[in-house]
Amino acid sequence: MNHGSTASGLQPTKGQRTRAEIVRRCAQLMNRHGYMAASVSQVVQATGIQKGGLYRHFASRQALAYEALDYAVAQIRERLLRAMQGHANACDQLLAMLDAYDFSEEGIDAVPFVGGCPIMNSAIESDHADGGLLERARAAMQGWHELLVRVVDAGIRRGEIRPGVDPHRTASTFIACIEGGVMLAHLYADFSHLQAVRGHLANYIDDRLRPAGAAGRRRQS
Amino acid sequence: MNHGSTASGLQPTKGQRTRAEIVRRCAQLMNRHGYMAASVSQVVQATGIQKGGLYRHFASRQALAYEALDYAVAQIRERLLRAMQGHANACDQLLAMLDAYDFSEEGIDAVPFVGGCPIMNSAIESDHADGGLLERARAAMQGWHELLVRVVDAGIRRGEIRPGVDPHRTASTFIACIEGGVMLAHLYADFSHLQAVRGHLANYIDDRLRPAGAAGRRRQS
Amino acid sequence: MNHGSTASGLQPTKGQRTRAEIVRRCAQLMNRHGYMAASVSQVVQATGIQKGGLYRHFASRQALAYEALDYAVAQIRERLLRAMQGHANACDQLLAMLDAYDFSEEGIDAVPFVGGCPIMNSAIESDHADGGLLERARAAMQGWHELLVRVVDAGIRRGEIRPGVDPHRTASTFIACIEGGVMLAHLYADFSHLQAVRGHLANYIDDRLRPAGAAGRRRQS
Amino acid sequence: MNHGSTASGLQPTKGQRTRAEIVRRCAQLMNRHGYMAASVSQVVQATGIQKGGLYRHFASRQALAYEALDYAVAQIRERLLRAMQGHANACDQLLAMLDAYDFSEEGIDAVPFVGGCPIMNSAIESDHADGGLLERARAAMQGWHELLVRVVDAGIRRGEIRPGVDPHRTASTFIACIEGGVMLAHLYADFSHLQAVRGHLANYIDDRLRPAGAAGRRRQS
DNA sequence: ACCGACGGGACCTCCCGTTGTT
DNA sequence: AACAACGGGAGGTCCCGTCGGT
């Protein structure tokens, strides 16, 4: 049933293209309606493919949900990495992560992820229903956390962040602030909450992360 | 169908006690399994009461879910208020709110709310399914936000917080940090993430909220 | 889910009566269409009860099928026992068993078991699909086999059957002949095949079972 | 769609060989799982050929099932004929038929027909579902019955069987005993039941079929 | 000659809510 | 006030058969 990438990676067959499109559409759908809460009928409507066709590509609704989540997490991760690559300084990279969640210019209903952050959504939903979802949510969060730790570590090594800073606690703090801000922005459909958090994190960086003498030479939100 | 408080408020009848118990049990159940995702069968099992009996007290599963959410939010709010009342200084009150979410000494499976913060849970879930849930989640969040605004305002008036601080942005920041921290603690079943956030907020209070001269005279996490 | 005989055995509740009626109707249906092959829709049509109601009484279609088979086997067994009780001589009892399968006077579509012998039917079908069916078919057959062994044993003790006869082999022989005859009668909707087998078994009794001197003093088919 | 024997009978084309292999594999599969109960997926798995390929050779699953049954019946018939050809005496030929069903030396899971006698299986299953199956089961049984009648008739003509014997009733009796014995042997996975029936039939032949003076000149089981 | 891909429908299960009964 | 019993329907899975490629 795993028709993922069997026959080379050059010319995707029709089935592979269909399958990829299903995953893409489902990621959008399920990030709103819940990865486990979305019904097959909704998937049928969202993808334009019938049940009979769906079950050719995925063994179960659950398997499709997992794959959609994996896809969504990969998308978010890519967005984060791309946002970071625009900056050289570790502190700027940290702020860029938050900015990656700000869709205010693209509109709240824009791509890619209506429904908020998939990692947080699955983290919350995993408590409800499903063990497999929990595993995936934890793995996704862990990946993000480790990414942040690496950024902070590198910042310390490069002298962009004070030596005494604890990378793990800093990572947790950033994630908590970002996810909390995303939740508020999404709940109210109002990104000003995210901007408030951004200002807070910028201050935090100045107060506690940046080396004392180097304060304040960057764009302020 | 709203048998909430019909026969005076002194001696609750048997029906009223049953009804209250149902709501209490459902709040526990639904905060884990989702307010809309929890099925009537699960409610029957969790409460030990049969469907016929349930529908005597509640017009629909949805109505019960709303009431359970209201109850859960009220419980959390009460816990927050009680935590605040232990402190006179506005800054301490703010930190006490976060501490109210720390169940590390009571165990992760302890009361009252296995499954994390009901406000955040409903905020996330409201995106999935239900308009009524969204309204309630927003109202609950609004209530909390306003409470924080009042605390900050009062702190400014009493000279415990710097005059220039924006109460709304500060409230948003605290909520974001707390909810993000709760989410992490719950996802990993590990309250150390919440402690990291606590340290961060304590620093933030010292750096940006407390009047300059008054820095640092209270227990540090 | 096993609402079999909870509340005393005196006044069956409405549910118990419904349940019993479902089993009765299903035994008829499933003995024709196969215990596993019969669909829930067919059960709904045969019983006049809807799916929602069915699953209140039985955990699954399979559970209902098992119960229907058990009921059918019990009915056949009762019919066999009643037929035997009309005769004192062991040899006559053996022939009476075959006669119990002869519905030629009641019509081929008569009660109780359109569709042939439930034991044989389940024995054949058990090979197809289901392990639980095989267990039940074996147990039912074993019960019948042991009944025959007891009849032969008693016949030997009372001097109605020759001492040297092997009860087990005799039981197997009778069962094989009867079931084979029932199958033919049912396949062709023609009981003359069963009569042929009856004549054969009567001869067999005279030739090999009855004591030498006592030959031939009973009604011949 | 009937690509049975289009291009002469000398060099079977690749398609014809594939088709024959499908029928052969299906006969094995369907004799266990039921001719109508076996799903196309099971056929796909058993044959290693995909649906698109299957439906090139057969118009429907039903048509394939019929052909598989015909093949199975032909196989059994051939086995019976071959067993008979080893004996000249009619009485020995009758016993040889039963022996043809005894796979105890080849193992219960041996070829050719795991799942018991196809004629009996289809006779039982035909009651369930399908009119076409019933026709075929009756025809197959009729063919066997007539074969037995011819054997008995020839035996009478050659003086190996008493003149007064009724060939039809004798044929029915043999079939009933054999099929009943096969059923027992298969149900218990124990061929001793078939041996019991064999002994019984040998006695029956001595007592009622063989001419009086010619008793006992054959191997006893 | 065969396979991959898909549509539409039937199946079993479970759900929610109502009703009659105790 | 509570339960047992039931109807109607939605949900997820799998089925059979067709069609376009190759």
Where does residue B38 fall: left (phi above 0), alpha (psi -120 to 50 degrees), or beta otherwise? beta
How does residue A127 score in pLDDT terms, banded at 50, 70 and 90? confident
DSSP state at residue B214: G
Mutation target among B29, B173, B182 for the A interface, most CBs of A within 10 A: B173
Contact D153, D167 (CB under 8 A): yes
Q: Which of B219, C195, B55, B186 is nearest to D176 (CA)?
A: C195
**pLDDT band at B219; cut points 50, 70, 90:** very low
Distance separating alpha carbons of residues C193 and C186, to the nearest angstrom: 9
Q: What is the structure's pLDDT at C115?
A: 87
Angle at which helix D131-157 crosses helix D167-188, to 10 degrees, equals 120
User: In the prediction, which pLDDT does D212 show?
Assistant: 82
pLDDT value for B32: 93
Q: Closest Cα of chain B to A52: distance in Å?
A: 25
CB contact under 8 A, C200 and D204: yes
Task: Write down which residues 64-83 in D have CB closer than 7 A to strand E.
Answer: none
B180/A177 CB distance under 8 A:
yes
Smallest CA–CA distance, residue B112 to chain A, in Å, is 16
Sequence-ordered strand ranges (E) for C37-128: none
Specify whether the backbone of C116 is left (phi greater than 0), alpha (psi in -120 to 50) or beta. left
The pLDDT tens digits for D113-169 are: 788 999 999 999 998 768 899 999 999 999 999 999 999 999 999 999 999 999 999
What confidence tens digit (pLDDT) does each residue in B87-110 have?
A: 999 999 999 999 999 887 776 556
Closest partner residue to A204 (CB to CB) among B37, B116, B204 is: B204
Question: Given this model, what pLDDT does residue A12 score?
Answer: 79
Instruction: Using the structure, give the distance in angstroms from the CA atom of C62 to the C1' atom of E7, rounded to a whole number.
Output: 30
Burial of residue D182 (CB within 10 Å: 0-12, 13-18, 19+) is: buried
- Cα–Cα distances (Å) from A86 to A34, A154, A169, A206, D56, in that order, read 32, 16, 25, 20, 58
pLDDT tier, C2 (very low <50, low <70, confident <90, very high otherwise): low
Mutate to test the interface with C, among D30, D42, D128, D162 (most CBs of C within 10 A): D128
Residue D203 clears pLDDT 60, i.e. is over it: yes
Give residue-wise pLDDT tens across range C95-136: 999 999 988 777 655 666 788 999 999 999 998 778 899 999
Q: What is the pLDDT of residue D3?
A: 53
Residues C39-52: tens digit of each pLDDT? 999 999 999 999 99
pLDDT digits (tens, 9 = 90+) for B39-89: 999 999 999 999 999 999 999 999 999 999 999 999 999 999 999 999 999
What are the tokens at C68?
């229907």
pLDDT of residue A111 exceeding 70, the answer is no
Q: What's the sign of the alpha-carbon dihedral D91, D95, D100, D104?
A: negative
Nearest CB to A183; choose among B115, B123, B188 = B123
